[in-house]
Structure 1
Amino acid sequence: MIVGVPKEIKDYENRVALTPRSVALLTSSGIKIVIEHDAGAKSGFSDMDYASAGAQIVNDAAELYSEADLIVKVKEIQVNKNEHLFVSPRHIIFGYNHFESSLQLTQAAVHSKARFISFEKVIIDATGETPLLMPMSKIAGTLAGVWAGFFYNYAFKHDKSLRMKSGADQIKSKFMDGFERIMQDGKVDGSLAIDLSLQDKSAIIFGGGTVGESAAKVCHSLGAKLIIIEKREGRRKYLQQLGLTRCSIVPTADYDMIKASSAIIGATYDKEKADRVIDEKTLKNASDVRKKVIIDVSIDQGGNFPFIDSTGKYAPESMSTIMSPAQIDFFGNTFVRVPNMPSIVPRYASTALANAITEYVKAIVANLPKQELVRATSIADGKILDNAVARAHGLPYAKAF
């Protein structure tokens, strides 16, 4: 089985699925790897780096898909760019698929008759951990906390558009350059903490999983008064043991909490569609009292909050980008809805992802019956094997096990 790594073509996606180090580990095990030309360029990895690690470099996606059997990629097949036309029944596609979010993508995958194994659905049965989702969740949560402070301090509304204050670019460069240290420490400190300060401001985090925990640690280091909304009792007990001062951990939010908040982060994810945790009326009324920075980390799965654009239209498809992450909603809030947040730090994110998936790539090539990979198979042979995907689109479900 030949493994292929294509260049990501989703807009603003800068990551690559395998780094040269991971390729070297795989090729040393006798696995043949083909890499599309410039697949790692946006993450800082050259074709020469991959060739030195033992990979073969191919010219384009057509050549890569024709040679490779197992396609290892970051983001879902881009139907709007005809990437699905390269996929044939012999292929295994291993990546973040998020089929629940798109009927068009799901139908294309079914029609291809290929096998799609979803990173986000790989779950360790004994612990419930999601080892391929967790590294990106930590990055997204940390970035959400940083962005809460950044946009609270540097964004402002001008007419119906969002503007940034003088010095914002320098602060952005500062936290991006120091992002690895922020990840390691779980906090922002020094002069950057002053620049991003949320001192005595109320921040609500919906969801106390990996994303919420990482965001909470950063917001705590910026001085925020925290409220974490977490339904699971066991997880609430765990979060209480973190020792975050001025932090309430509760199962539900009430209107007074939302009204008083300056920053709100949405980080709930139930392996299907994201929970809608605030409705439009509540958001409107709470925004009339205080404008907010709202960061919807769960946007890949439909989002936790309604987005009403500046014209007053409900606009669930209106996404931000890592180049321009924030928008102003109809109520005057600063809204961040970026579906690939870790791409803002692509080298760090690519390394973390590749480290997590390398052993799974080996297992697929060796045809090892790892149950978490079997359960993570969303679509195969023209059938939907994931009931959550079938329910999301009202399509037939073929039980796999």
Structure 2
Amino acid sequence: MLVGVPKEIKDHEDRVGLVPSSVRELVAAGHKVMVETNAGRGIAVDDAAYAAAGAVIVDSADEVFAKADMVVKVKEPQAVERKKLREGQILFTYLHLAPDPEQTRDLLASGATCVAYETVTAANGMLPLLAPMSEVAGRMAPQVGAAALENANGGMGILLGGVPGVLPAKVVILGAGVAGTNATLVAQGMGADVTVVDRSLDALRRIVASFGSRVKTAHSNAETIAQLVTDADLVISTVLVPGAAAPKLISRKLISEMKKGSAFVDVAIDQGGASETSKATTHSNPTYIIDGVVHYCVANMPGGVARTSTFALNNATLPFTLALANKGWKAALKDDIHLANGLNVHAGKLTYKAVADALGLAYTSTASVLG
């Protein structure tokens, strides 16, 4: 199979679909790999490293999309890229379709087979291709939240960890999954007063087992969220429903009742966000202020630390990339129900129910597609 890797074009997106070691594995398995020139520049990997691993370096994304049997990316294809997809081509990347009807329509029109990293599952119920980026985004969240609290960025001018004689910031983390746990790790490590909220008692028990008395926990309900959010200096939302739009846990009214100069970091913004005031931003212009609350809603947070993120992502995606290349999409999906759960679009059909429900579109089961 000919596998193509274009350079990412989303704002400040410097990650890349394959690293040289992944290219080497694909070539050793008998496949050909083409990489757009300078695709790895943002992770300090030059064309020579890709060529040494066996890739062919090409001058443009046009050539990658025109020739590749499978395109491996990181972020959802932008409008100009979607026009280059073709019938029968495999696209393997993050998609996040539930809050994005325009992308969904374009992918359906392309006729391509689109497998989304974020809905591939594992036997333990986890999302193995989302987890590494959730780890990165979770660890970044207290950092960017701390910056948002600075006066220069519109914040109240509070140091997350405080100093002797001055109380630390109150940080509320919504969600005790992978991102929430990693946000907790960093926030409490920075000395903040941290409370984690989740509706799963098992998840909260895991937080207590990991952090003990350094972190407080609370069961999630509307009243508790309202009380904690309005008292917080920094709120970090990590709540996610796999493949579906993120639940709106925070209303516009609740935002208006938060402290002036407090901050809100929405890690799940790529699935639509957890607040009625959430709207996707970029690394070029990451924050905005509503009702005195600084919102950080960058839709590709891990792109801010592209080298770490790319290698972490490749560690997780490579076995699935090899399976798709070795067997072809249909056989690979038939052999692995967890990879099959990643199929979102095939030949003009929407095959992920949560996306179909969110967008009010017709749904076709993966089982019927696979026959």
TM above 0.5, yes or no, is yes
Is 1:35 aligned to 2:35, yes or no? yes
SS at match of 1:226: strand
Distance in 2 between residues matched to 1:151 and 1:205, nearest whole Å: 16
For 1:133-144, what aligned pairs fall within 5 Å after superposition? 133-144=130-141
Structure 1 residue 273, shift from structure 2 partner: 0.8
Distance in 2 between residues matched to 1:300 and 1:72, nearest whole Å: 19
- Change in 2 beyond 3 A, CA 1:246/1:35: same
For residues 172-192 of structure 1, what are the alpha-carbon distances to aligned partners after superposition, in whole Å with 9 as ceiling and x for unaligned?
A: xxxxxxxxxxxxxxxxxxxx9
Q: Decide whether the 8 Å contact of 1:255 with 1:286 is kept in 2.
A: no
- Letter of the 1:56 partner, please give it: V
Structure 1 residue 326, shift from structure 2 partner: 2.2
- Change in 2 beyond 3 A, CA 1:154/1:323: farther
Which residue pairs with 1:185 in the alignment?
A: none
Is 1:370 aligned to 2:331, yes or no? no
Q: Decide whether the 8 Å contact of 1:155 with 1:334 is kept in 2.
A: no
For residues 51-108 of structure 1, what are the alpha-carbon distances to aligned partners after superposition, in whole Å with 9 as ceiling and x for unaligned?
A: 01100011111111122101100011111xx211211112000000111121111111
Which residue pairs with 1:76 in the alignment?
A: 76
SS at match of 1:208: coil
- Letter of the 1:376 partner, please give it: G
Is 1:63 aligned to 2:63, yes or no? yes
For 1:181-192, what aligned pairs fall within 5 Å after superposition? none
Q: Decide whether the 8 Å contact of 1:8 with 1:74 is kept in 2.
A: yes
Which residue pairs with 1:109 in the alignment?
A: 107
For 1:234-253, what aligned pairs fall within 5 Å after superposition? 234-252=202-220, 253=224
Structure 1 residue 194, shift from structure 2 partner: 7.5
Which residue pairs with 1:189 in the alignment?
A: none
Q: Decide whether the 8 Å contact of 1:363 with 1:370 is kept in 2.
A: no
Distance in 2 between residues matched to 1:199 and 1:131, nearest whole Å: 38
Which residue pairs with 2:268 in the alignment?
A: 298
- Letter of the 1:255 partner, please give it: A
Which residue pairs with 1:208 in the alignment?
A: 176
Distance in 2 between residues matched to 1:87 and 1:141, nearest whole Å: 32
- Which of structure 1's runs of 4+ aligned residues deviate more than 6 A? 162-165, 192-195
Distance in 2 between residues matched to 1:21 and 1:15, nearest whole Å: 15
Counting aligned pairs with the same residue, the percent is: 31
- Change in 2 beyond 3 A, CA 1:282/1:365: same
Q: Decide whether the 8 Å contact of 2:82 with 2:107 is kept in 1.
A: yes
SS at match of 1:35: strand
Q: Decide whether the 8 Å contact of 1:92 with 1:114 is kept in 2.
A: yes
SS at match of 2:213: coil
- Change in 2 beyond 3 A, CA 1:67/1:240: same
Q: Decide whether the 8 Å contact of 1:149 with 1:219 is kept in 2.
A: no
SS at match of 2:92: strand
Match of 1:223 among 177, 191, 206: 191
Match of 2:226 among 255, 271, 281: 255
Match of 1:343 among 280, 299, 303: 303
Gaps spanning 5+ residues in structure 1: where? Answer: 166-191, 308-315
Q: Decide whether the 8 Å contact of 2:136 with 2:302 is kept in 1.
A: yes
Distance in 1 between residues matched to 2:212 and 2:25, nearest whole Å: 40
Distance in 2 between residues matched to 1:131 and 1:154, nearest whole Å: 38
Q: Decide whether the 8 Å contact of 1:220 with 1:244 is kept in 2.
A: no
More off after superposition, 240-249 vs 360-369: 240-249
Structure 1 residue 193, shift from structure 2 partner: 6.9
SS at match of 1:213: helix
Which residue pairs with 2:251 in the alignment?
A: 279
Distance in 2 between residues matched to 1:362 and 1:356, nearest whole Å: 11
Structure 1 residue 286, shift from structure 2 partner: 2.7
CA RMSD of superposed structures (Å): 2.2
Match of 1:131 among 128, 132, 141: 128
Q: Decide whether the 8 Å contact of 2:4 with 2:65 is kept in 1.
A: yes
For residues 228-255 of structure 1, what are the alpha-carbon distances to aligned partners after superposition, in whole Å with 9 as ceiling and x for unaligned?
A: 1111122111111012434221222243
Q: Decide whether the 8 Å contact of 2:6 with 2:35 is kept in 1.
A: yes
Which residue pairs with 1:147 in the alignment?
A: 144
Is 1:50 aligned to 2:50, yes or no? yes
Match of 1:333 among 266, 286, 293: 293
- Letter of the 2:58 partner, please give it: V
- Letter of the 2:273 partner, please give it: G
TM-score (norm 1): 0.84
- Letter of the 1:116 partner, please give it: C
Structure 1 residue 163, shift from structure 2 partner: 11
Q: Decide whether the 8 Å contact of 2:238 with 2:266 is kept in 1.
A: yes
Which residue pairs with 1:175 in the alignment?
A: none
- Change in 2 beyond 3 A, CA 1:390/1:23: same
- Letter of the 1:268 partner, please give it: V
Distance in 1 between residues matched to 2:152 and 2:42, nearest whole Å: 27
For 1:310-321, what aligned pairs fall within 5 Å after superposition? 316-317=278-279, 319-321=280-282
